[in-house]
Amino acid sequence: MTVRGSRAPAGGSPGTLRPVLAIDDLLALERAAAALVDPLARLWRAVRASADAPVAPRSLDPPLRAALRTLRRLLFVDVVAVELANQAGDELVTRAAAGLSEELTVGAIARTGEGTAGLRSLATVPMVGHGHLIGVLWAASGEEDRFGLDGPGILQIVADRLAAALDRIEVIERERAARRDAEQLATRIARIQRVTAELAATRSAGEVAAAVVRALDPAPGTWRGVWLVDEDRLVLGAESGDRPPGLGPEWEHRVELESSSSLATAVASHTVTYGVTSTTTGEDSWAVLPILSHDGALGALGIVARRAESFTPDTRAFFALVVGQAAHALERARLVEAERQAAERASFFARAAQVLAEADDLTATLDRLAELAVSTVGEVCLIDVVAEDGRLARMAAKHRDPALQPLVDRLLAEFPPEPGSDHPAVRAIASGEATWSQDMSEALLRSIARGDDHFALARTLGFRSYVTVPLSASDCVVGAMTCVSTSHRFGRDEIAFAQDLGCHVASAVERARRYESAFRTSTILQSSLLPSRVPQPPGVVVDTRYLTANQGLEVGGDFYDLLVLPAGDVLFMVGDVAGHDRDAAAQMGHLRSAARALAGRAPAPSALISALRSVWELLGFERIATMVVGLLDPSTGTLAIGSAGQYPPLLVGASGATFLPVPPGPPLGVETPRSDVWRGTIEADQVLLVYTDGAVDERRAGSDESMAHLAQIAADGERNPVAVCDRVVAGIASERRDDVAFLALSLALPLGPS
């Protein structure tokens, strides 16, 4: 560059710069300024070519220093420096310098003019980019009046170029920072979406807890757990990571809500809590975030990191989002669980209603109800019923596990509750109120046990929690039902369910008692309508049986009767009035009385049947009846048998059993011109059996097959009236809808000549 005036010696101090420069000098300065920012231009192009490569703040320093050294030589000054504005824009910080005290000034907070001892001339120009101050460029010299009018202009040209280059780099850095922020945000959103999707697939509180601990994806050394509210305590639902050795009892698997632990306090106050705890291994950061719904606390998320200050603001924000999603998932899981329990209970009570509908025996019914109970409430069910004499009888004892049923059978047989004791069943019956305990302590078991064996048995079974409900029916307590859990503590829902079940069990007990009472009444009434004693005529062996129907409580119209006529003949009859109610029983009593009255005038079977037909309307009988009438001469064994719609008599002999071909006339109450009679004899080793139609099971096997079965069992054994009746009674179905009347007879002595 050509300068008017003296030049500075090479390598020495700059010479005097004249105030006015020639045009060629200005062009040279322009070219020099362009060359000055070439290092920054190359940096900018490199940044643009590789936008993903990070640019460290210190990477600007080498090109800046190179540019400033060029500018110092160009201006023949002692110092050239660049000061950049800080982020707040309220201070300038020296970024690069060339000349005196270069190392001391870089990075210092700059106040232009300070720290420039020995420098007597100073020129400063701003560096502006896109309307904001980037910094300043200044030059200083030890000569007075070193800068004329052109000096600041040259500095400004260089400053503008530097500002443009720096501004472009700053824009790229801002774009890069924005991209990084967007990528981090996208990563957070993806994690949240993954958490949301995983929690949406859960169906139970346990699954929610497990999904939460998986979603946190912690750094090594971080432990996390999710507790769920269970009545009055927090129960650990899931955990992940190595539990820190210094973790105190307040972070145990079960934490009482009334305790002063960090978990309980955070849940009770609905407050997110962060803290640091000193341990033997250093300082642990911990966090407790309550999981809250509109109805209150559902649980808590606990996190422990093996280093202090582990939870950044972004991390805390993510925790909050996870907890919020977990609250929604837990509410949904509770609704699903409530619906499932409602469906199970509806199904349970439907099965219980079926058991009650099919009930025919109290003991069997209670045993089935207890078996149903252990499928839903606890593992053991005990049912105690107040007997008629006031004693407490244990009627059922069931365990869910068949392998442990023998132990529960001992509770049934050996250890029923003692009246006046502190047993829960005794207290529930006395008070009429349910009693329960969520924790069966050793002292409680001792107070209930009837001795060491009973106590040891309860401990072996693992009794943990129980609920006892009174069995109340018609304002009367008829017993108590006790459900015992060996796996968990009973909650309010299970206690309420046990009370509902108790109502069904009480209904079964009351129904069975009414049935037994009505059955006894029916049996007494039936017995009063039958002969109190059947005579035993000389030379004849007679046996009778009467089986009441065991399905239904009404009395029937079946009967048997035997008379010894004045001539010594034996008149016997078996009949059945249609229907199974009190009216049938009443007509049966009148029919038997009428048959007895008419037998004195018309003892022959055909005559007696005809006489009954003729007076049927006069007697006011409204129902038809079937009947077999027989007349036996004990001295000769001759028989005459007439039938009015009844099954034929069965004659049992050495060669088997044979149905006699008695003509089947129409039932009594149906008009007919005549009644036919079968005549024959009975031998001394034969048994004659007459019966009502309840002995033939037409509904199940049909009349032919059932009659064949009757003949088979009657002939299979000893031939005497008692043995034959015993076999026939044993062979009849246990579930009967109709009564059955039998009369069997045989000759006692060998017959004389006819």
User: pLDDT value at position 177?
Assistant: 75
User: pLDDT value at position 16?
Assistant: 41
How many Å apart are CA 250 and CA 260, to the nearest integer?
A: 8
> In sequence order, what are the residues at sequence separation of 6 or more whose Cβ sits closer than 8 angstroms to the Cβ of residue 76?
8, 14, 15, 17, 141
CA 611 to chain centre: 73
> In sequence order, what are the residues at sequence separation of 6 or more whose Cβ sits closer than 8 angstroms to the Cβ of residue 599?
563, 565, 571, 608
Mean pLDDT (the chain) is 79
How many Å apart are CA 41 and CA 165, to the nearest integer?
A: 6
Q: Residue 517, Cβ neighbours under 10 Å: how many?
A: 12
Angle at 68 between CA 63 and CA 72, to 5 degrees: 155
Confidence bin at 113 (pLDDT 50/70/90): very low
pLDDT tens digit string along 51-62?
Answer: 444 444 456 677
How many Å apart are CA 290 and CA 211, to the nearest integer?
A: 16
Q: Which of 15-19, 91-95, 178-182 has the lowest mean pLDDT?
A: 15-19
588, 558 Cβ separation under 8 angstroms: yes
Pick from 573, 583, 568, 569: nearest CA to 530 = 573
Q: Which of 48-52, 118-122, 141-145, 273-277 has the lowest mean pLDDT?
A: 48-52
pLDDT at 279 over 70: no
Q: Which of 107-111, 125-129, 584-588 has the lowest mean pLDDT?
A: 107-111
| Alpha-carbon separation of residue 507 from 475, 511, 581 (angstroms) | 12, 6, 25
Confidence bin at 689 (pLDDT 50/70/90): very high
What's the average model confidence in pLDDT over 516-525?
A: 56
User: pLDDT value at position 26?
Assistant: 55
How many Å apart are CA 711 and CA 657, to the nearest integer?
A: 5
| The two domains 205-338 and 359-521 share their CATH topology (first three levels equal) | yes
What is 530-747's CATH topology?
A: Phosphatase 2c; domain 1 (3.60.40)
743, 560 Cβ separation under 8 angstroms: yes
The CATH superfamily holding the domain 359-521 is: GAF domain (3.30.450.40)
User: pLDDT value at position 315?
Assistant: 83
593, 529 Cβ separation under 8 angstroms: no
Helix (H, G, I), strand (E, B) or coil at 358: coil
pLDDT at 34 over 70: no
Domain ranges for the chain, please list them: 23-176, 205-338, 359-521, 530-747
pLDDT at 105 over 80: no
CA 331 to chain centre: 15
Pick from 106, 110, 134: nearest CA to 122 = 110
- Lookup: tokens for 738: 């109709």
- Lookup: tokens for 638: 């001759």
User: 371 versus 173: which is more confidently predicted?
Assistant: 371
Place of tokens 């068949």: 402
User: 629 versus 507: which is more confidently predicted?
Assistant: 629
| Alpha-carbon separation of residue 418 from 160, 390, 395, 445 (angstroms) | 105, 12, 14, 15
pLDDT tens digit string along 187-233?
Answer: 777 777 887 888 888 888 888 888 888 887 666 668 888 888 887 78
Confidence bin at 44 (pLDDT 50/70/90): low
Question: Which range, 351-355, 548-552, 636-640, 745-749, has the best average confidence (pLDDT)?
Answer: 636-640
291, 301 Cβ separation under 8 angstroms: yes
pLDDT tens digit string along 705-736?
Answer: 889 999 999 999 999 999 999 999 888 866 66
Alpha-carbon torsion angle 26, 27, 33, 34, nearest 10: 160
> In sequence order, what are the residues at sequence separation of 6 or more whose Cβ sits closer than 8 angstroms to the Cβ of residue 476?
none
User: pLDDT value at position 277?
Assistant: 76
User: pLDDT value at position 10?
Assistant: 34
How many Å apart are CA 2 and CA 28, to the nearest integer?
A: 9
276, 283 Cβ separation under 8 angstroms: yes
pLDDT tens digit string along 533-557?
Answer: 788 899 999 999 888 775 544 556 7
User: pLDDT value at position 27?
Assistant: 61
How many Å apart are CA 199 and CA 205, to the nearest integer?
A: 10
- Lookup: tokens for 213: 């601990």
User: pLDDT value at position 12?
Assistant: 40
Confidence bin at 249 (pLDDT 50/70/90): low
Helix (H, G, I), strand (E, B) or coil at 129: strand
Q: Which pairing describes strands 664-665 and 638-644: parallel, antiparallel, or unpaired?
A: parallel
23-176: which CATH number, 1.10.3720.10, 3.30.365.10, 3.40.640.10, 3.30.450.40?
3.30.450.40
| Alpha-carbon separation of residue 641 from 376, 404, 509 (angstroms) | 62, 62, 48
User: pLDDT value at position 734?
Assistant: 64
- Lookup: tokens for 108: 């210092």
pLDDT at 619 over 90: no
pLDDT tens digit string along 319-344?
Answer: 888 888 888 988 888 888 777 777 77
pLDDT at 47 over 60: no
User: pLDDT value at position 528?
Assistant: 56
| Alpha-carbon separation of residue 751 from 569, 575, 623, 640 (angstroms) | 15, 29, 41, 17
255, 263 Cβ separation under 8 angstroms: yes
pLDDT tens digit string along 168-194?
Answer: 777 767 777 778 778 777 777 777 788
Place of tokens 């039902």: 481
Q: Can you name the residues that pair with 123 across neighbouring β-strands?
A: 139
As a whole-number percent, the residues of the chain with pLDDT over 70 amount to: 79
Q: Please give the class, per CATH, of domain 205-338.
A: alpha beta
Pick from 101, 103, 106, 126: nearest CA to 116 = 101
Pick from 350, 383, 386: nearest CA to 366 = 383
**HSE-up of residue 412 (Cα within 13 Å, Cβ side):** 18
pLDDT tens digit string along 396-406?
Answer: 899 999 999 99
Q: Dump the DSSP string for 527-589.
A: HHHS-S-----TTEEEEEEEE--SSSS----EEEEEEE-TTS-EEEEEEEESSSSHHHHHHHH
Burial (CB count <10 Å: 0-12, 13-18, 19+), residue 153? middle
User: pLDDT value at position 231?
Assistant: 73
